[in-house]
Amino acid sequence: MKKISAYENKKIVIELLDFFDKVCKKNNIEYSLSGGSLLGAVRHHGFIPWDDDADVMLTRPNYERIKKIFSSMEESKFGFINENHPGYYYGFSKLYNKKTWVKTLSPLDRNLKDLGVYIDIFPIDKIPDEEQNLQRFSTEIRELNDHLFLSVPGVYYISQNWFKRNIKRVLFYPRYLKENRPHKTPSEWHALVLDKLKQFDDTDAQNGGFILSEYSTKEIIPYATFMKYRDIKFEGRMFRAIFDYKTYLTALYGEYMELPPKKKRHPKHAYIEYWKE
């Protein structure tokens, strides 16, 4: 199979964003670019130069609406995968291009045989604002997620470096055994994580975020931030963004308009992309 170039990848991702935006607008669903995609839109008016993926986020009610729409769509070019897919152990969804194939390097993804180049779609849930409750919630959901990951064979020693992989396999094996004493399947742990994510959605909690992201508790900001939106330019197109993106980006990156050190300017992908034959 032919590898997808960085240029081709960006074109595919933009096409996915265009389709996502079109569906959201047609159904009056608000969303926002998120993470590095929102940072790229603000700082570079498009992709961060050394990256080529894209993320979006929606409040939980809108996230559940878009899940239903994409899960029932009859679209030959795009596919959709969410938390209910067997062998998929994340707390968010993916919209992907069916004409491509992603060779993932993580044991977490070994059951995703047909996944193509994708964008990630994250739910924003309410999170407790009282410090003690916040710390308890954060600790509990992280522990559940650790149990989930450690219940999937091979995850605890994952690394792209063979030396580190073998070292981790030896060092962390005792913890792997200890963590797996509560004998639950990955699917059972996953169900507990998903329930935990939504624990405070029906309360008057004043914070919000996706706490299982790579940014962890940094992503917790006032829930009101996700109530107002604006258009923002990204690669010559207009997509949606939370109006007060400064609060969000500052929480995640600090001085977000400053470029990171050169040694950190590289993509974080754990996969290789191909065109399907």
Give tens-digit pLDDT for 110-164. Answer: 778 889 999 999 999 999 988 889 999 999 999 898 888 888 776 655 555 555 5
Q: Name residues whose C-beta falls within 8 Å of residue 74's C-beta, 6 or more positions apart in sequence.
A: none
How many CA atoms lie within 13 Å of 222's alpha carbon, on the beta-carbon side? 10
Q: Which residue has the tokens 């509990």?
A: 140
- Percent share of the chain, pLDDT over 70: 89
> In the prediction, which pLDDT does 149 show?
81
Q: Which of 183, 173, 78 is nearest to 121 (CA)?
A: 78
Distance (Å, whole) CA 171 – CA 179 = 14
pTM of the model: 0.91
> In the prediction, which pLDDT does 156 show?
57
Is the model's pLDDT at 274 over the cut of 80?
A: yes
Distance (Å, whole) CA 164 – CA 168 = 6
Q: Could you tell me the pLDDT band of residue 186, with boundaries at 50, 70 and 90?
A: confident
Distance (Å, whole) CA 59 – CA 81 = 18
How large is the average pLDDT for residues 220-241? 97
> In the prediction, which pLDDT does 262 show?
87
Q: Could you tell me the pLDDT band of residue 83, with boundaries at 50, 70 and 90?
A: very high
Is the model's pLDDT at 52 over the cut of 90?
A: no
Q: Could you tell me the pLDDT band of residue 269, with boundaries at 50, 70 and 90?
A: confident
Distance (Å, whole) CA 112 – CA 217 = 28
